[in-house]
Structure 1
Amino acid sequence: MAVTRAQRRAFFAAWLGYLLDGFDFILITLVLTEIAAEFGLSLTQAATLVSAAFVSRWLGGLVLGAIADRYGRKPAMILAILAFSVGSGLCGFAWDYWSLFAFRAVVGIGMAGEYGSSATYVLETWPKHMRNRATGFLLSAYPVGTVLAAVAYDLIVPAGGWRWLFYAGLVPIALTLYLRRSLPEAAEWEADGGGSSVLFAPGRRLVNALVAAVLTTALVLVFSRTATGWPLIAVVVLGLLALTVQLAGRRWPVVVAVIATVFCAFLYSWPVQSLLPTYLKTELGYAPGAVSTALTWAGLGYAAGSCLAGILGDRLGTRRAYVLGLFASLAFVFPVFALPPGNVVLLWVLLFGMQATSQGISGLLPKYIADHFPTRMRAAGLGFSYNVGALGGAVAPLAGAAIAEQAGLGNALTLLAVVLTLAVAALVGFNLPARLEPMSRMWLSRRETSRKPHS
């Protein structure tokens, strides 16, 4: 069955919103050096501003996902694009480190909701045999957004300063909101009759709101490096686990395995995503124009790789295509960070190949995750598990910067990319979530047995 005109139109609206998501989210990585200079921050402190958006993503994925499951995919998509657009615009008005941290957290809420609601919408709109292609093509919008951001950086920052780069993210919002308002609702969600999250049941709202407040506070303290230590990390882990058990019920081990897979995926990809501009400017000494060009080729590779991943996923299967792409990426990582300054064209080619394989293959992640959830809780399940795992993206720039202090930034990025790529390949290849499904059934069986009266 071919894709209809209405399905293509729905896809384009979701694709455009995700493009803006990529544009707004990546801006902070382009101007870390300028922000650090204005606010008097070290590289490690500036890197926490990348992490700020990840601190709030779990909340955005959960809340906007629950809205998508209860009221429909379309209203959740509209709320998501409003959140990350307003947050990005506010970043241009930041007056110090903490105001910028807070505005980046608003961007994170919107980005999380955009990923969960748009990916779910497209999955439930396209034919089932083309759903790897649907998510691969959808996620190609994100790197196109990063390419536009790199071009905007080259045009705007040298002349107007870093703040105007954030203001530019507000320009296309009206068009995207108009397109989304005119969309039909996802047919599969309508046929299922909608759902609601147990997390927001009347008897649990207050307790879960308190848990969310404690979690958010702990994450801000940890990722701003205001406070550290195992007690805070334990609070984060236990709080997220409590919400996971409520959301997934007996299938919570499966969801934990999905979260672990996504966490490792962010740890291998986001040191490169967040610190590559800094690496090119500081260790290789490239000017803003050269950095912009290099990031353009990297973004084009990411976009092409996402589309190719979707095609391969439909032909070979999601997991097989995913693992194949991960192993292929290892051929590019070492040459990229061993390349001396001056080899500009070769750098473009290697960045294109590396991002096409390592980042592009993540176009299969929404399909891989969504397969573990029924329609009635798909948006919340996808949004929550993906964005809790995305905390790896908050750890990534901090880990990269910390290792860089001892081994250099290039060596740090290489180490994290290689080790964590192999970890994700193992988790996906051995299909850990599916292997834990029997454990979920056994846990439920024991629970039901314990409730039966003994004769």
Structure 2
Amino acid sequence: MAASPPASQGSFRQLDRGQRKAFFAAWLGYLLDGFDFILITLILTEIADDFGLDLTQAATLVSAAFVSRWLGGLVLGAIADRYGRKPAMILAILAFSVGSGLCGFAWDYWSLFVFRAIVGIGMAGEYGSSATYVMESWPKSMRNRATGFLLSAYPIGTVLAALAYEVIVPAAGWRWLFYAGLVPIALTLYLRRALPEAAEWKSEVGDRKDVTTSSVLFSPKRRLPNAALAVVLSAALVFIFTKTGGGATPYLIALTVLCFVALAIQLAGRMWPVMIAIMVTVFCAFLYSWPIQSLLPTYLKTDLGYDAGQVSNALTWAGLGYAAGSCLAGIIGDKLGTRRAYVLGLFVSLLFVFPVFALPAGNIVLLWVLLFVMQATSQGISGLLPKYIGDHFPTRLRAAGLGFSYNVGALGGAVAPLAGAAIAEDIGSLGTALTVLAGSLTIVVALIIGFNVPARIGRALKIDSDAPALLPPERKTASGV
């Protein structure tokens, strides 16, 4: 029998069994994460009716999970940097599964808000730990594909959630949709027994206790002050996003920013301006993507008058577009480079935003096509975001650096539904509001990434780091980046 030809660099055939298993487990966890997280957007109208909420107040329930994400990204990221990517991933899955199940037992607005915050902690940890786990298990030449293919799981999870919505909610009510979110707990038993630890983390960090984020954030001298800082920060965010801060809201926002900067300085040291720039980039990315992600079901039901089955079909095609776009982004990113592919996808997406929301009711098939392509280019290109962010941090700080900066920036996702609903109330059209937010912020993100703003800041400050994005060209070539 003739021997199989050797796998070329960048070929999927060069992945061994352990690397494939690592990817599949992380992909499955992220799929279930997407399923749990998106449930609230599908049933906002039903919850609003049950609890007597208006659209703007109901939209704050979407924000609840974003309010807690910074904490999940920081704490579970620190655990991943200290104890390994695998245990942090397992804890994250447990958190979002338990939180989702509890949502089914919510008795009023505030109980549901708290349970959604638990989901947010788990989702934040899952994003950072899964992304770093897969990236550090795969060859460097394939890491755009690693994150692109990984993030394709999230929209497939949303598709499954949309299908579950169509079947479960009309027959049994919205609470049973949340009970289904308990299913991922079973996955943690498989993960605990079957997976190896990420090779790069083992070789560069392993048992070292003096170089990780946990040794910085949770040292005896900083433990209590940082716990107090977390309490103050969490309270401020709750007051801001539930609109209960009143006249103190501007001061609460300023306090929130100062708290985040204080944590970034501890976490990243001299690199803290780079981390802040990453946060701003992600914040703007959520402002262009999450108004559509969170309010599209509401738009389809209220502005266009579609029923549950039609909404489910539309979201299915949007989710499939997101998944296909994530995979394509990974392939293009490994060929053209992360930043170049990212900017290209963002500008192409602008061609489809206006047609989606200008389309009148009744053109359901055309809507499916437009949603598929729009989400493939706008949301799908975000499959490169973990690689883009992760390149700005060294291995010993990568999980917490990626998890914290991404999930602080993800507060843009908490602002997004509120901004979309508020603009819609002013101009009388939710579709126009979503078009304005998506179009303008897409351009902002493309400019930040295109001009490589975070890395330029790092180089201007002459930061000496082995983070791939901050290496000089000759060292990037030598290290295979």
TM-score by length of 2: 0.91
Which whole-Å CA distance do the structure 2 matches of 1:333 and 1:422 have between them? 12
Q: 1:300 matched to which residue of 2?
A: 320
**How big is each residue's C-alpha offset from its partner over 1:400-446, in whole Å with a ceiling of 9 and x where there is no partner?**
000000121001000000000000000000000111013433899xx
Q: 1:267 matched to which residue of 2?
A: 287
**How big is each residue's C-alpha offset from its partner over 1:186-213, in whole Å with a ceiling of 9 and x where there is no partner?**
1111101244221111111110110100
Shift of the alpha carbon at 1:172?
4.0
Which whole-Å CA distance do the structure 1 matches of 2:261 and 2:271 have between them? 12
Q: Is the 1:13–1:176 contact (alpha carbons within 8 Å) kept by the matching residues of 2?
A: no
Which whole-Å CA distance do the structure 1 matches of 2:194 and 2:455 have between them? 38
Aligned partner of 2:413 among 379, 393, 403: 393
SS of the residue corresponding to residue 441 of structure 1 reads: coil
**Amino acid in the other structure paired with 2:195:** L
Which whole-Å CA distance do the structure 2 matches of 1:37 and 1:133 have between them? 43
**How big is each residue's C-alpha offset from its partner over 1:359-416, in whole Å with a ceiling of 9 and x where there is no partner?**
0000000000000101111000000000000000000000000000012100100000
**How big is each residue's C-alpha offset from its partner over 1:36-86, in whole Å with a ceiling of 9 and x where there is no partner?**
000000000000000000000000000000000000101000000000000
Q: 2:474 matched to which residue of 1?
A: none
Shift of the alpha carbon at 1:294?
0.2
Aligned partner of 2:217 among 193, 196, 199: 199
Q: 1:162 matched to which residue of 2?
A: 174
Aligned partner of 1:348 among 347, 352, 368: 368
Aligned partner of 2:254 among 226, 234, 240: 234
Aligned partner of 2:60 among 48, 60, 85: 48
Aligned partner of 2:266 among 235, 238, 246: 246
Q: Is the 1:268–1:416 contact (alpha carbons within 8 Å) kept by the matching residues of 2?
A: yes
Please tell me whether residue 107 in structure 1 is matched to residue 119 in structure 2: yes
**How big is each residue's C-alpha offset from its partner over 1:205-253, in whole Å with a ceiling of 9 and x where there is no partner?**
1101101000000000100111142100001000000000110100111
**Amino acid in the other structure paired with 1:420:** L
Which whole-Å CA distance do the structure 2 matches of 1:222 and 1:232 have between them? 7
1:19-168 to structure 2, matched below 5 A, reads 19-168=31-180
SS of the residue corresponding to residue 184 of structure 1 reads: coil
**Amino acid in the other structure paired with 2:105:** F
Task: Pick which of 275-284 and 228-237 moved more.
Answer: 228-237
SS of the residue corresponding to residue 93 of structure 1 reads: coil
CA 443–222 in structure 1, closer or farther in 2 if over 3 Å, else same:
farther
- Count residues with an aligned counterpart: 444
Q: 1:374 matched to which residue of 2?
A: 394
Which whole-Å CA distance do the structure 2 matches of 1:181 and 1:173 have between them? 14
Which whole-Å CA distance do the structure 1 matches of 2:366 and 2:34 have between them? 25
Which whole-Å CA distance do the structure 2 matches of 1:422 and 1:177 have between them? 43
Q: Is the 2:271–2:463 contact (alpha carbons within 8 Å) kept by the matching residues of 1?
A: no
Shift of the alpha carbon at 1:176?
4.4
Which whole-Å CA distance do the structure 1 matches of 2:45 and 2:347 have between them? 33
Q: Is the 2:288–2:439 contact (alpha carbons within 8 Å) kept by the matching residues of 1?
A: yes
Task: Pick which of 123-132 and 184-193 moved more.
Answer: 184-193
Q: Is the 2:90–2:191 contact (alpha carbons within 8 Å) kept by the matching residues of 1?
A: no
Q: 2:4 matched to which residue of 1?
A: none
Please tell me whether residue 423 in structure 1 is matched to residue 447 in structure 2: no
Which whole-Å CA distance do the structure 1 matches of 2:347 and 2:85 have between them? 35
Q: 1:451 matched to which residue of 2?
A: none
**How big is each residue's C-alpha offset from its partner over 1:334-367, in whole Å with a ceiling of 9 and x where there is no partner?**
0000000000000000000010000000000000
**Amino acid in the other structure paired with 2:327:** C
1:291-330 to structure 2, matched below 5 A, reads 291-330=311-350
Q: Is the 2:93–2:184 contact (alpha carbons within 8 Å) kept by the matching residues of 1?
A: no
Which whole-Å CA distance do the structure 2 matches of 1:40 and 1:89 have between them? 22
CA 439–245 in structure 1, closer or farther in 2 if over 3 Å, else same:
farther
SS of the residue corresponding to residue 257 of structure 1 reads: helix
Q: Is the 1:263–1:388 contact (alpha carbons within 8 Å) kept by the matching residues of 2?
A: yes
Which whole-Å CA distance do the structure 2 matches of 1:177 and 1:331 have between them? 45
Q: 1:414 matched to which residue of 2?
A: 435
Q: Is the 1:74–1:181 contact (alpha carbons within 8 Å) kept by the matching residues of 2?
A: no
Q: 1:217 matched to which residue of 2?
A: 235
Which whole-Å CA distance do the structure 2 matches of 1:398 and 1:345 have between them? 29
CA 177–265 in structure 1, closer or farther in 2 if over 3 Å, else same:
farther
Which whole-Å CA distance do the structure 2 matches of 1:406 and 1:330 have between them? 24
Which whole-Å CA distance do the structure 1 matches of 2:74 and 2:391 have between them? 18
Aligned partner of 2:28 among 4, 8, 16: 16
Which whole-Å CA distance do the structure 2 matches of 1:270 and 1:371 have between them? 24
**Amino acid in the other structure paired with 1:163:** R
Q: 2:359 matched to which residue of 1?
A: 339
What residue ranges of structure 1 are gaps of 5+ in the alignment? 445-455
Which whole-Å CA distance do the structure 1 matches of 2:290 and 2:93 have between them? 22
**Stretches of 4+ moved more than 3 A in 1?**
none
What residue ranges of structure 2 are gaps of 5+ in the alignment? 1-8, 466-481
SS of the residue corresponding to residue 392 of structure 2 reads: coil
**Amino acid in the other structure paired with 1:199:** L
CA RMSD of aligned residues (A): 1.2
TM-score by length of 1: 0.96
SS of the residue corresponding to residue 56 of structure 1 reads: helix
**Amino acid in the other structure paired with 2:436:** L
**Amino acid in the other structure paired with 2:341:** A
